[in-house]
Chain A
Amino acid sequence: MYETILYKVKNKVAYLTLNRPDSLNAFNEIMNKEIVQALKIAEKDPSVRALVIQGAGRAFCSGEDLKSLDKNIDLGEIIKKRYTPMLKQIASFSKPIIASVNGVAAGAGFSLALACDFRIVSDKATFIQAFINIGLVPDTGNLFYLPKLVGTAKAIELSILGEKITAGDAEKYGLVTKVVPFDELESETENFAEKLANKPTKAIELIKNLIRKSYETRLDEFLEYEAYSQKIAGSTEDFKEGVQSFVEKRKPVFQGR
């Protein structure tokens, strides 16, 4: 059982809820570890075909718990020991990950949302690139993802100004998948996640890998990888079902294999 998060699976979707509402779901060492554990379980569980990360209470996640942080500590070690493993686990997660952002996502909480594949955001949500305000640099992969989402100029602006970003602005910058009314966040998130959970899961994994590769490789290497990916996708049951349903003019039922 978990101490700082909740984990449940419903209709092929795993819900990972950050559950320290009193501290606006701030990260502590246990939470970093438990997120990794839960992600490993969701990765291995064939009945899970999408994962939602959400926050309990008012906030999504307020980042590192500064109150319990020793000021003389080596922050580099904290990153390596706690945040890097979490980020790597998210980055290598093969199934779609949705951040369902209810309220504030600040600091590493913002980074967490950026590392997900989708961001469904309530109209009350805010993002804060808070690091600069206490003299630090964005961490937890933040600046790996942010410029890719919003471009270099906007990434510099957000990171150096450290101002609050409203849901509406976030949408304008291309940071979010969809903004929904606060009261509908839960149902909208569920609908969206279940939609993803019924898509061809292997193809989703391969698409995520290909997009990642596009930043890492030369074109000829990428095209080789593309051919492998299509070979793999073409050997799935879901591909057969896709073609079959097309021929039969009906909706496909994908099994995620």
Chain B
Amino acid sequence: MSNYQYIFTEIDDAVGKIILNRPEVLNALNRPMITELVNALETFNKNENIKVILLTANGRSFAAGADIKEMKEDDPIYLEKLDQFAEWDRMSLIKKPIIAAVQGYAVGGGFELVLSCDIVFAAENAKFGFPEVNLGVMPGAGGTVKLTKTIGPRKALEWLWTGEYFDAKKAYEYGLVNRVLPVEVLFDEAMAFAKKVATQPPLSIRLIKDTVTKAVDLSTYESMQYERKNFYLLFATDDQKEGMQAFVEKRQPIFKGK
């Protein structure tokens, strides 16, 4: 529907789908691909009809890291000026839920992309890892930070230092993924979940994401203050009135996102 080169997008009811589409290189993430991805996320973020974003990948693997050839000859000053990771900052400003469905390899930049999503469904054949250390570098798009905040410093260091890959089961045990599924049902189940979230009151969903994201970074006191403000704010919505009215009347609420 849009003229992207490395991804494509689809709309299924209230779910906006973004599909990584460089299967011939296991969806290795080059810079223009990240830019396209962020543009697609922002487009869906602004589209009133889209309630949830589903990120998937075409082919055997989700995303096998960055395009190494692209960066092999780079020097620090060039990288500072290029500021490529600023694109990833834009990703963190997306207000709508982002659900990832991951099969095969999600390593390096691909793993960072997974860590940038809100909910992760993984196929049993999924493998995660940060092999950057084997190239004499380290993750640069938030990998070290987000992994640490998700699983704690000890496990994070083990993964980051060894560069080894971990399977979906282990990722599940460490709380990195929400669900592990046979690959054959991965997309259907992720879509079903996306559609379920899409029926929830959108402003609640939005402010819940906002508050949970803040809770990761702010102190308990600050995030509880923040939570409170968002809680109060939802009382300005029609959906709060409808939700509570429906509860009292013992019927199903009809949410409008207003």
Give residues in A with beta carbon < 8 Å to B: 209, 225, 228-229, 231-232, 235
How many residues of B sit at the interface, in one of the four size bands? under 10
Residue numbers in B under 8 Å from A231 (CB-CB): 184-185, 188
Most buried by B among A209, A228, A229, A235: A228
Rounded to whole angstroms, the CA-CA distance of A202 and B182 in the bound complex is 13
Rounded to whole angstroms, the CA-CA distance of A164 and B139 in the bound complex is 56
Most buried by A among B182, B188, B189: B182
B15 within 8 Å of A (CB atoms):
no
Residues facing A in B148-187 (CB within 8 A) are 181-182, 184-185
Residue numbers in A under 8 Å from B182 (CB-CB): 209, 225, 228-229, 232
Q: Tally of A-B residue pairs with Cβ under 8 A?
A: 15
Give residues in B with beta carbon < 8 Å to A: 181-182, 184-185, 188-189
Additional 12 contacts, C-beta under 8 A, given A228-B185, A231-B184, A232-B184: A209-B182, A225-B182, A228-B181, A228-B182, A228-B184, A228-B189, A229-B182, A231-B185, A231-B188, A232-B182, A232-B185, A235-B184
Tell me, rounded to whole Å, the shortest Cβ–Cβ distance linking A225 to chain B. 8
Rounded to whole angstroms, the CA-CA distance of A231 and B182 in the bound complex is 11
Query: Closest chain A residue to B125 by CB distance?
Result: A92
Query: Closest chain A residue to B169 by CB distance?
Result: A216
Tell me, rounded to whole Å, the shortest Cβ–Cβ distance linking B194 to chain A. 17
5 A–B pairs (Cβ distance < 8 Å), ordered by A: A228-B184, A228-B189, A231-B184, A231-B185, A232-B184
Rounded to whole angstroms, the CA-CA distance of A209 and B185 in the bound complex is 15
Tell me, rounded to whole Å, the shortest Cβ–Cβ distance linking B178 to chain A. 13
Residue numbers in B under 8 Å from A228 (CB-CB): 181-182, 184-185, 189
Rounded to whole angstroms, the CA-CA distance of A232 and B184 in the bound complex is 7
Rounded to whole angstroms, the CA-CA distance of A228 and B187 in the bound complex is 12
Residue numbers in B under 8 Å from A229 (CB-CB): 182
Residue numbers in B under 8 Å from A232 (CB-CB): 182, 184-185
